[in-house]
Structure 1
Amino acid sequence: MIKAKDSTWLLLICLLIGQLYVPSQGSPIEGDQTDYQEDDYDYGDDGADDSSKGDVTDTLDITMPPPYFEENDLKIEAKPGDDVVLNCDARNFQLSNAVMWYKNKTIIANGQNAIGHRVECMPNNSIVLRDASAEDSDDYYCEILPQMVRQHTTLRVGARLSILCDDRDVTDRSQTFRQGDHHKLECRTYLPGENTIKWSFNGLRLESSPEDIKNGVVILDNIDEQNAGVYQCLGDDGSRYPPHGMVTVDVQYSPKVSTHRHHVNTEEGHTAELYCNYRANPIGRSYFIKDGKTLQLSEKYSLKDSAHNGHNRTTLVIREVGKEDLGEYLCQVENAIGSNEVKVHVSYNPETPQFEDMKVEGTKVTMHWLVRSRQPLSEAILDYQLTGSYTWSTVSVLQTHRHNHTEGIWKITHQLDLPRRGLWHARVKAKNTHGWSNFSPDHDFQIEEDDESIAAPDMDLPPEQIMQAGVGITRGAASALRQLPAITVACGVLLASLLLRVRL
């Protein structure tokens, strides 16, 4: 039997257990609250279960490493019209991962769904770009989500036309060649139909052998300065805007040295100027040499550099000229490719005459030459010759006067009445108080046939046989007849006489 004292203790224990049980199960119902939670309410797990769930997630992150690429940057070269495969070969790719493809910043594929009719998705997350063109050249990349790991692919699609130099693509670029080199320029087109390749050089159509043109090839052999410029290729496919390309060629060459005054006239005590013009790439260094020694700058010698008609010009100034300054000088120019030189002779004799102009009236010709000489001219000789002649005809010219009253420049004028028409050659040399100059270069001129050499159509011509014999022929034909052997002319005259007697 339970005693009262024992029951009191039992009641106290029950009350304590109730106090502990209520906080663990939830808040007590207060007032008249009658809203009960539905049976499907997610009560959640106890604290021990929540902790266990967090441990499982951490374990998955540790045991499964994120996706990655063995190469993050790729490059692909393609030709127009090719089908190009862009790979997205990711390691550790999981079913929980997704793939996005971009061209620059534009989405072109989402998972296995392509955006655009020329893009095709592959099961391994790569894509195929159909019928590539030059406009497709860009930066492509695939991105693995949610880690946002990327692999970039730079795609370059050649233009519809390319220029190759020794099998290297140089379209719209510059090339530097060296004097004496040998190179091949080839123009290739990537067009679906027939086309004709046309080359031009510095704006002018470039002609090559038929076989080279057929293959679109230009051969540059023993390259020199004249090969420098812009080469353009056009693939003529009949369209309004045919494909074209260009390459700029720069040539490094040894200096090209020249002068218009190989002989320089001077006078004792005066100043003489010798010059030479040159072109060089890379730029050259110029200097003068006399008697095997390089002339140094001094009160006697000085140098002037200038530009003249697209050339570099170096001028040597010799002050207070004496007999020891006469003779031959070398103007030498050198650069990294080579060197070249030109000779200039200093003397008291007249310089080589230069042709100025001429006037032709029928067979009469009036010619003018200019001569540099500080000393007065005393005499001049003119030689002339018809093409085919073995000897020159010579005439002494006495008409010499200063050119436009210019000191040191003389003008020679002479008129010739040439005996025949045709191609003639003339040359002049002059003399001053010290001696003769060299002959000028030959000047060629043509005396054309005039209308008098053609028979009038309404004149009473003799019979054809007489014409063939030389009777009644024109001035030009008579001239030709005079060149026939004498026996031929005699026979013709005899035959003409017989024919006239029969006619009478």
Structure 2
Amino acid sequence: MIRAKDTTWLLLICLLIGQFYVRTHGTPIDETKDDYQDDDYYSDNEEDPLEDETPPVVDTPAARPYFEESDLRIEAKPGDDVVLNCDVRNFMINNAVMWYKNTTMIVNGNTAVVPRFEAMKNNSIFLQNVTPADSENYYCVILPQDVRQRTTLRVGARLSILCDDRDITDRSQTFRQGDHHKLECRTYLPGEPTIKWSFNGIRIESSPSDEEKGVIVLDNIDDVNAGVYQCLADDGSHDPPHGMVTIDVQYSPKVSTHRHHVNTEEGGFAEVYCNYRANPIARSFFVKEGKTIQLSEKYSLRDSVHNGHNRTTLIIRDVEESDLGEYLCHVENAIGYNEVKVHVSYKPETPQFEDMKLEGTKVTMHWLVRSLQPLSEAMLDYKLSGSYTWSTVSVLETHRHNQTGGIWKITHQLDLPRRGMWHARVKTKNPYGWSNFSPDHDFTIQADGEGSYEPSDADLPPDQIVQAGIGLGGRGTASALAQMPLGGVILAALLLRQIRQL
């Protein structure tokens, strides 16, 4: 008979056996059932770290690949071998390298897509025997982060122009007055082509040594050196290499005037002007007796352009005696200054040669003179080249030029006995005095032929023949022999020559 106490122990033992059986023989849980609940320690989007013990790859800024320099530049000459580096930092095993020429892929990883390019183990590329056509922008791209480095390759042309060892081909350069520079035309061609320089389209003649080296030396540079310089390497081909450079020169003003003496009259007006060129731009003003002339009702300025020059004109109204004298036209810029003198007076202005007519030994010359006052006299000086003294003749024929007020025309004819180079000059007189002499006018009387006789200098001293043939009364220091008719002078010379031969 089983007692109640025994029954209690029996039930307890059965419960323990059941728990043990369930632990060892229980069926797997059906995860598809709706009443299953995940472990509270993990969310729906997280994975149990025990399932994959490999740590995740975290793309932090410190781990990203990068370039210390994002832009590089390489200069090369035609025929050089060039290496384009891709020096990337933090390059990982899962990174890949791509090379592009602008937008065209040329290298994929370790494989060259375009011929002539060779991929190197350090991600760089090698290009052999470069040409000007290889001048482009190249990009090294690191994937998947798309980190880029640009390399600009510039391959010089077959010809380069260097200024002080700097390449200035097809560029502009600015020099300063007084500078010293050297232009060199350098070629990258087989053989020895002939270097030819030109300046503003005109061939530059240089010494053989400089031409062989292709060098032009610009010493003490001035405005005359400004322009276009071209270099050509004559290699015998139909299309020889060539280049050019434009030179700009900064210089102090160049000032001039055609009227250094200005004639005026009391109560009238006078115009004093000067022409100038300057680079950079210049300012101009007038000075009299050390004082800058201020603009007023009496003085005004006018700026204009005349034959490619800047012109500044001072207008003086109601001229008085105190307005006569010397004026300075002063022009200055950042480089320096220059000035020219103009004299205002009542005397005639300096005569200017107009033209001449030559018929055998007869010469007819014309001068123009400005004078508001009537001319009373004109004087002509002339001499044969090599003579030490001038002969003088008074010219009385003066008349107004085309009825233009203030301009007179001087005309005179000479019948010269001697063929060769002659010089002539003129000055004029009005009630206030004489003008300055005009600049010498030079002219040549050609010889007729081999049979024509020309007395030698020993036969006819220059001071005895320079007035021969003047129809009007002569003046000056000519001897009596000079007043003889032309035939008498030549006869005297022949007689003198025969006497010396005896």
Give TM-score scaled by structure 2 length.
Answer: 0.81
Q: Output one character per residue of 1:68-92: Cα deviation in whole Å (capped at 9) or x when no partner.
A: 3333322222111111001123334
Contact 1:305 1:315 in 2 (8 A): yes
Tell me what 2:36 maps to: none
Tell me what 2:498 maps to: 489
Q: Which moved more, 1:358-367 or 1:59-68?
A: 59-68
Cα distance change, pair 91–268 in 1 and its aligned pair in 2 (3 A)? closer
Identity %: 70
Tell me what 1:411 maps to: 409
RMSD over equivalenced CA pairs, Å:
3.3
Q: What is the rounded CA distance, in whole Å, between the counterparts of 1:60 and 1:318 in structure 2? A: 89
Tell me what 2:126 maps to: 128
Would you say how many aligned residue pairs link Structure 1 and Structure 2?
Answer: 449
Q: Which moved more, 1:311-320 or 1:390-399?
A: 390-399
Structure (1/2) with the larger helix percentage: 1
Partner AA of 1:161 in structure 2: L
Name structure 2 gaps, 5 residues minimum: 1-10, 34-44, 461-492
Q: What is the rounded CA distance, in whole Å, between the counterparts of 1:315 and 1:481 in structure 2? A: 53
Tell me what 1:171 maps to: 169
Partner AA of 1:220 in structure 2: L
Which one of 103, 107, 110 corresponds to residue 109 of structure 1? 107
Quote the offset at 1:255 in angstroms. 0.9
Q: Does 1:475 align with 2:473?
A: no
- For the residue of structure 1 that corresponds to 2:326, the secondary structure is strand
Quote the offset at 1:406 in angstroms. 0.2
Quote the offset at 1:158 in angstroms. 1.8
- For the residue of structure 1 that corresponds to 2:250, the secondary structure is strand
Contact 1:481 1:489 in 2 (8 A): no
Quote the offset at 1:48 in angstroms. 11
Q: Output one character per residue of 1:194-236: Cα deviation in whole Å (capped at 9) or x when no partner.
A: 2122111111111222222111111111111111111111222
Quote the offset at 1:67 in angstroms. 3.4
- For the residue of structure 2 that corresponds to 1:390, the secondary structure is coil
Tell me what 2:37 maps to: none
Q: Output one character per residue of 1:34-83: Cα deviation in whole Å (capped at 9) or x when no partner.
A: xxxxxxxxxxxxx9997545562515768994433333322222111111
Cα distance change, pair 202–143 in 1 and its aligned pair in 2 (3 A)? same
- For the residue of structure 2 that corresponds to 1:489, the secondary structure is helix
Q: Does 1:76 align with 2:74?
A: yes
Tell me what 2:390 maps to: 392
Q: Output one character per residue of 1:418-475: Cα deviation in whole Å (capped at 9) or x when no partner.
A: 111111111111111111111111100111122xx34xxxxxxxxxxxxxxxxxxx43
Contact 2:419 2:454 in 1 (8 A): no
Q: Does 1:272 align with 2:260?
A: no
Q: What is the rounded CA distance, in whole Å, between the counterparts of 2:408 and 2:132 in structure 1? A: 68
- For the residue of structure 2 that corresponds to 1:214, the secondary structure is helix
Q: What is the rounded CA distance, in whole Å, between the counterparts of 2:60 and 2:391 in structure 1? A: 111
Quote the offset at 1:364 in angstroms. 0.8
Tell me what 1:185 maps to: 183
Quote the offset at 1:401 in angstroms. 0.6
Quote the offset at 1:412 in angstroms. 0.7
Q: Output one character per residue of 1:129-181: Cα deviation in whole Å (capped at 9) or x when no partner.
A: 11112221111122223333322212122222221111222222221111111
- For the residue of structure 2 that corresponds to 1:135, the secondary structure is helix
Quote the offset at 1:254 in angstroms. 0.9
Q: What is the rounded CA distance, in whole Å, between the counterparts of 2:31 and 2:320 in structure 1? A: 131
Q: What is the rounded CA distance, in whole Å, between the counterparts of 1:318 and 1:63 in structure 2? A: 80
Q: Which moved more, 1:427-436 or 1:112-121?
A: 112-121
Q: Output one character per residue of 1:298-338: Cα deviation in whole Å (capped at 9) or x when no partner.
A: 11111111110111111111111111111111111111111
Quote the offset at 1:370 in angstroms. 0.4
Which one of 2, 24, 27 corresponds to residue 30 of structure 2? 24
Which one of 141, 145, 148 corresponds to residue 146 of structure 2? 148
- For the residue of structure 2 that corresponds to 1:404, the secondary structure is helix
Contact 1:102 1:141 in 2 (8 A): yes
Partner AA of 2:208 in structure 1: P
Q: What is the rounded CA distance, in whole Å, between the counterparts of 1:249 and 1:186 in structure 2? A: 14
Contact 2:459 2:497 in 1 (8 A): no
- For the residue of structure 1 that corresponds to 2:434, the secondary structure is coil
Tell me what 2:97 maps to: 99
Which one of 290, 304, 318 corresponds to residue 292 of structure 1? 290
Q: What is the rounded CA distance, in whole Å, between the counterparts of 2:344 and 2:62 in structure 1? A: 94
Cα distance change, pair 206–367 in 1 and its aligned pair in 2 (3 A)? same
Q: Does 1:443 align with 2:441?
A: yes
Tell me what 1:352 maps to: 350
Q: What is the rounded CA distance, in whole Å, between the counterparts of 1:123 and 1:336 in structure 2? A: 58
Q: Which moved more, 1:74-83 or 1:87-96?
A: 87-96
Partner AA of 1:196 in structure 2: T
Which one of 196, 211, 214 corresponds to residue 213 of structure 1? 211
Tell me what 1:328 maps to: 326
Cα distance change, pair 59–428 in 1 and its aligned pair in 2 (3 A)? closer
Quote the offset at 1:411 in angstroms. 0.4
Cα distance change, pair 398–96 in 1 and its aligned pair in 2 (3 A)? same
Q: What is the rounded CA distance, in whole Å, between the counterparts of 1:197 and 1:63 in structure 2? A: 57
Quote the offset at 1:242 in angstroms. 1.8
Cα distance change, pair 52–23 in 1 and its aligned pair in 2 (3 A)? closer
Tell me what 1:282 maps to: 280
- For the residue of structure 2 that corresponds to 1:213, the secondary structure is helix
Q: What is the rounded CA distance, in whole Å, between the counterparts of 2:61 and 2:405 in structure 1? A: 104
Partner AA of 1:24 in structure 2: D
Q: Output one character per residue of 1:244-290: Cα deviation in whole Å (capped at 9) or x when no partner.
A: 22221111111111111111111111111111111111111111111
Name structure 1 gaps, 5 residues minimum: 1-5, 28-46, 455-473, 495-504
Spell out the pairing of 1:231-242 with structure 2 (5 A cutoff).
231-242=229-240
Contact 1:426 1:442 in 2 (8 A): yes
Partner AA of 1:295 in structure 2: I
- For the residue of structure 2 that corresponds to 1:226, the secondary structure is helix
Tell me what 1:33 maps to: none
Q: What is the rounded CA distance, in whole Å, between the counterparts of 1:114 and 1:310 in structure 2? A: 61
Partner AA of 2:498 in structure 1: V
Q: Does 1:227 align with 2:228?
A: no
Q: What is the rounded CA distance, in whole Å, between the counterparts of 1:269 and 1:156 in structure 2? A: 72
Cα distance change, pair 59–389 in 1 and its aligned pair in 2 (3 A)? closer
Tell me what 1:377 maps to: 375
